[in-house]
Amino acid sequence: MKLSNSIYQGSNGRSSLIDLEIPENFNGELILFVHGFMGFKDWGAWHLVQQFFTEKGYGFCKFNLSHNGGTTESGIDFSDEEAFGNNRYSYEIADVAFALKWMMSNVSSISHIRLIGHSRGGGVVIIAGHTLASSYPISSVHTWAAISDIGMRFPNGTELNQWETKGVRYVKNGRTLQDMPQYFSLYEDFKEHESELNIQQAIQNLSIPITIHHGDQDTSVPIMEGESLARWANVSLYVIPSADHVFGASHPWTSSNLPKELAVLCEQTLLGMK
């Protein structure tokens, strides 16, 4: 079974796109992949990551977070800046639950669910793994260049005050060159749910295995954040030599092969699922 650009209903009633592939040699284990900030399910080489795991017998599901800026008509370019501006971290955690519910309604026999998250999505799957493991058969969490702290991503002092006064700030999308809005409600939501959005607390209380992977040439999320996650979880950090934040991939990715660093990452992650 292969479903592409299906629709699930996510946070705040907003619909978004989702893919699901179940190979003929399905081993009963299903991977849910969560993209990062300004990401989307069809970015770069994520389709080849899907192919890598389905060839090994794993089911694979990837989806667009409900407020990532895409729409059900256009899931790649960020045509809905208003949705992006209204995003919340709590929405992204809830989206994982909505995607899991959709996924399980489409697959009858799932023995294990594995969560993989890239960048901000790595922080999301740590929290989701902690909060949702009792409700779904989540067996492990795997982070790729994950953030370790949400609060540190907000401004402080004068910059924070200006954001509150104006109600909006803008972040540049380096690919589309759009100035994407972020409404102050993003920060208010974080403060309201600060305890639940504490990645350190979530990883220290995680009841299932976790593997943490980071490139040693990551300039977007420094490897120090991976080191912190590994220390808190009391596990080894898997370092991918020469890997940047996206493990050698780019968008669009026209090769039929995974970049070397991303291939190593997939192999390491697969070992962590055994």
Tens of pLDDT, residues 202-237: 999 999 999 999 999 999 999 999 999 999 999 999
Reported as a single tens digit per residue, the pLDDT across 242-271 is 999 999 999 999 999 999 999 999 999 999
Q: Which domains does the chain have, with CATH numbers?
A: 2-151+196-272 (3.40.50.1820)
Reported as a single tens digit per residue, the pLDDT across 39-54 is 999 999 999 999 999 9
Tokens 């795997």 locate to 142
Q: Please state, in angstroms and rounded to a whole number, the distance separating the CA atoms of residues 6 and 214.
A: 31
**Identity at 243, one-letter amino acid code:** A
Tokens at 154, concatenated: 């907000």
3-state secondary structure of 180: strand
The pLDDT of 64-71, averaged and rounded, is 97
Q: Residue 137's CB: how many other CB atoms inside 10 A?
A: 14
The pLDDT of 96-103, averaged and rounded, is 98
Predicted confidence band of residue 106 (pLDDT cuts 50, 70, 90): very high
Decide: 48 and 41 in contact? Cβ < 8 Å.
Answer: no
3-state secondary structure of 240: strand
3-state secondary structure of 17: strand
Predicted confidence band of residue 108 (pLDDT cuts 50, 70, 90): confident
Residue 4's nearest CA partner among 49, 56, 60, 78 is: 60
For residue 194, the model assigns a pLDDT of 97
Q: Please state, in angstroms and rounded to a whole number, the distance separating the CA atoms of residues 222 and 172.
A: 20
Residue 130's nearest CA partner among 141, 116, 144 is: 141
For residue 9, the model assigns a pLDDT of 98
For residue 145, the model assigns a pLDDT of 98
Predicted confidence band of residue 77 (pLDDT cuts 50, 70, 90): confident
The pLDDT of 21-43, averaged and rounded, is 97
For residue 274, the model assigns a pLDDT of 86
What average pLDDT does the chain have? 97
Q: What is the β-pairing status of strands 59-63 and 210-215? A: unpaired
- Rounded to the nearest angstrom, the gap between the alpha carbon of residue 160 and the centroid of all alpha carbons in its chain is 26
Predicted confidence band of residue 197 (pLDDT cuts 50, 70, 90): very high
Predicted confidence band of residue 241 (pLDDT cuts 50, 70, 90): very high
The pLDDT of 120-124, averaged and rounded, is 98
Predicted confidence band of residue 61 (pLDDT cuts 50, 70, 90): very high
- 1-13 burial, b for 16+ CB within 10 Å, e for fewer? eeeeeeebebbee
The pLDDT of 113-123, averaged and rounded, is 98
Q: Residue 189's CB: how many other CB atoms inside 10 A?
A: 18
The pLDDT of 152-177, averaged and rounded, is 96
